[in-house]
Amino acid sequence: MGDSMRFADFERIVFFTGAGLSVESGIPTYRGKGGLWHEYNYEDFACQRAFDRAPDRVWDFHDKRRAAIGACAPNEGHKIIADVQRENSRTKIITQNIDGLHQRAGATDVVELHGSIWRIRCDACFRTELSNETPLGERRCSCGRYWRPDIVWFEDALHDKTVRAAEQALVECDLFVSIGTSAVVYPAAAMPQIAQRAGATLIEINPEETQASHLYEHPLRGPASAMLRTLI
């Protein structure tokens, strides 16, 4: 890559982020070393069937995750992304993360493909609320049904509206920067291809090669914040 490539050279930037971006904040990835799903079985804690079977057990787990994530702060990578967006309001952020760290760094209009651990929803009366109370004081909606975390669990479908918002940003982008995602889960895995078809320049920031690396003309192999710094 030309050493001179800079965010300022592009007009419509999409940041596509995954668990690797939050590693420097102290939040482990799922699949990597120290990943959550080596320690816990997702079938007991992160799917609708588990929730229907034992909602309090699933909430205990999510209360712990909220406490752990709430104790972490956005890192330099989140801040650089928020700064780029502040400079150029057409910048879009599509994340697979549920931790809310983009917003805590000052970013806006974040497309959260997999939902947010800071939102709860009632599937009986279709209410959605923001909630950062940890632990969640009232686990039931006023209608009597348990609130559930508004995150996309294993086997859940993504929300159509969210996927459409992501696709809209992708077909318009001229720079696509993937950061810290192994991009193996669809439809997220298709997103770099959409950007490629739109003619965007593609950069992959990841210390390791991924299954999607062949799509990117510009690999930056290293941790998120240090690599993002080279593009300022």
* Residues involved in catalysis: 114
Tokens of 12: 């419509």
Query: Among 142, 5, 117, 123, which Cα is nearest to 63's?
Result: 117
Q: Determine, following the binding rule CB under 6 A, whether residue 114 of this chain makes contact with ligand NAD.
A: yes
Residue from the set 15, 29, 163, 192 that interacts with ligand NAD by CB under 6 A: 29
Q: Which of 13, 14, 23, 191 binds ligand NAD (CB under 6 A)?
A: 23
Q: Report the alpha-carbon distance of residue 195 to residue 203 in Å, rounded.
A: 11
Q: Which CB sits closer to ligand NAD, 24 or 150?
A: 24
Q: Which helix (H) or strand (E) holds 68?
A: helix 55-70
The whole-angstrom separation of Cα 205 and Cα 213 is 10
- 68 to 87: interface string for ligand NAD, x by CB under 6 A: --------------------
- The 10 Å Cβ neighbour count of residue 142 is 9
Min. distance of Cβ 201 from ligand NAD in angstroms? 19
Q: Which stretch binds ligand NAD (CB under 6 A): 19-27, 55-63, 80-88, 156-164?
A: 19-27
The Cα 96–Cα 60 span in angstroms is 23
Residue carrying the six token digits 């970013």: 107
154-157 — which CB contacts under 8 Å span 24+ positions? Answer: 154/42, 154/43, 154/46, 154/47, 155/47, 155/48, 155/49, 156/47, 156/48
- Can residue 224 be called a binding residue for ligand NAD (CB under 6 A)? yes
- Judged by CB under 6 A, how many residues of this single chain contact ligand NAD? 29
For the bound state, the minimum distance from the C-beta of residue 168 to ligand NAD, rounded and expressed in Å, comes to 20
Q: Which stretch binds ligand NAD (CB under 6 A): 1-9, 161-169, 201-209, 211-219?
A: 201-209
Chain centroid to Cα 126, Å, comes to 23
The distance of closest approach from Cβ of residue 90 to ligand NAD in the complex, given in angstroms and rounded to an integer, is 24
Q: How far is CA 219 from CA 106, 179, 197, 208, in A?
A: 27, 10, 18, 10
Among 7, 10, 24, 131, binds ligand NAD (CB under 6 A): 24
CB closer to ligand NAD out of 141 and 219: 219
Q: Residues in the site for ligand NAD, rule: CB under 6 A?
A: 18-20, 22-24, 27, 29-32, 96-99, 114, 179-183, 185, 205-208, 210, 223-224
